[in-house]
Amino acid sequence: MPRVSMEHVVNNRYDIPAKTRVFVNAWAMGTDPEIWEDPESFRPERFLQGSPIDFKGQDFELIPLGAGRRICAGMNFGIAAVELAMAQLLHSFDWELPPGVTAKDLDMTEVFGITMHRKIGLVVLAKPRFP
């Protein structure tokens, strides 16, 4: 979402006059090799509990839900809903790759857009854990 600067600001070497439309490139921040070690690799352990990375907008390395006064109003509900759905799926099913497919066969290439998604969809088999 674009923002408009309220007053003249000098940030690092950038001179931003008042009333300038500014776009925050969250994707570039999230893939900056000066901030992230091996930024293009899928490494979810970066965000485990106790990690110094805060996805809630306090650290500006990662701001998927915005930051400051304009942070996502539904953030807490969204986080709870995703965690509940994921917990239910993991609890209720055993997950396997289709016959003949190995982990090495998976293409984890992403496609850039409003949201990030895989170029080729992931196909898995969900087997009910409970009869």
Where is the binding site for heme, in residues?
72
Q: How many CA atoms lie within 13 A of 85 on its CB side?
A: 6
- Which residues are annotated binding-site positions? 72
Percent helix, strand, coil in the chain (nearest 5)? 25, 15, 60
Cβ atoms of residues 16 and 4 within 8 Å: no
> What CA–CA distance (Å, rounded) separates 71 from 79?
13
> What CA–CA distance (Å, rounded) separates 120 from 111?
9
SS3 assignment, position 42: coil
Q: Checking phi first, is residue 68 left (phi over 0); if not, alpha (psi -120 to 50) or beta?
A: left
